[in-house]
Amino acid sequence: MKYCWCLFLFPVITACSDIQSDDINTQNPPGFHLNDPQVFQLDKKLDEISGIVFLDSSNTIIAENDEDGKLFSYDLSKKEITNTVKFAGKGDYEDIAFTGPDWYVLRSDGALFRIQNNFTDSIKTTEFAFPEKGNEFEGLFFNDSTQLLYLLCKSCTDSADQKHISLHAFDINLQQWTPDADISVSTEPIQPMLKKKKTSFKPSAIARHPITKDYFILSGTDNLLVVTDPLFNIKGAYKLDATLYKQAEGVCFSQNGDLFISNESAKKGPATILYFKYEPGVNK
């Protein structure tokens, strides 16, 4: 299951991180080596892979294609797609979340697609339009304790200054948007952590570490990973090697804390899923 909450094998490839901060002096978030993944090269059907969820029970990644309105089941042991289903027409789909019985897919305009009876002949899809126009979303995650889905803005009218991230909530039990639960998180602490004088931050995915409860937020266009504590105080900002992270669009965890990051092809070879074993105590 993809663990996240608010504010979404084989060759070894070297990556570099570019951090500058008085209290942040490592090149990797605690427990991980960002330059030492196991790499799964994907079928062309997943060149536009975006959101991902890991199912521990079957060692399987559930992924959605950015354009075709399809879900894919990718078996990590077999290294192949084992199931495909169409849930909607063509569109700009960005992320996926699992709530237990149901799946939800996020379209870039904020629309949510509830998918029931996934990967069966009786699949059913219900669309919930986002109540406002002119926004762009790429991250989606489920808070099981509150039964809320959160949409993470990439570019929204209420965060146009890029000094904060806005998150909008959808109640899966009431099946409606819940403005009272919306959140805004400051991004200003990110800049001092990076050597570059100016770095944009347009989130593409978010997930919660199931053990530390930290939040991992990707910005694929900026080749950046940001980690926050459980209260969304930013702990670290890590530059990602563009040769390894061609276009990071999805992130999720296994129940034991292992990390998965998906990369679109970006016309730079096959799309990939990167696997990082969680090693408590490393990089502390």
For 90-103, the pLDDT digits (tens) are 999 999 999 999 99
Confidence (pTM): 0.87
Q: What percent of the chain has pLDDT over 90?
A: 65
Cα distance between residue 52 and residue 62, in whole Å: 6
Cα distance between residue 203 and residue 187, in whole Å: 11
| Whole-Å CA distances, 149 to 173, 179, 206, 272, 280 | 10, 12, 12, 26, 29
Question: Could you tell me which residues are beta bridge partners of residue 40?
Answer: 273
Domain 38-276 adopts which CATH fold?
Neuraminidase (2.120.10)
- Sort 43 into a burial class: Cβ within 10 Å, 0-12 / 13-18 / 19+: middle
Q: What residue spans define the domains of the chain?
A: 38-276
Residue 12 pLDDT exceeds 80? no
Task: Determine the average pLDDT of the residues in 25-49.
Answer: 89
Which is more confident, 238 or 1?
A: 238
DSSP code for 85: E
**Torsion angle, CA of 29/31/36/37, rounded to 10 degrees?**
-100
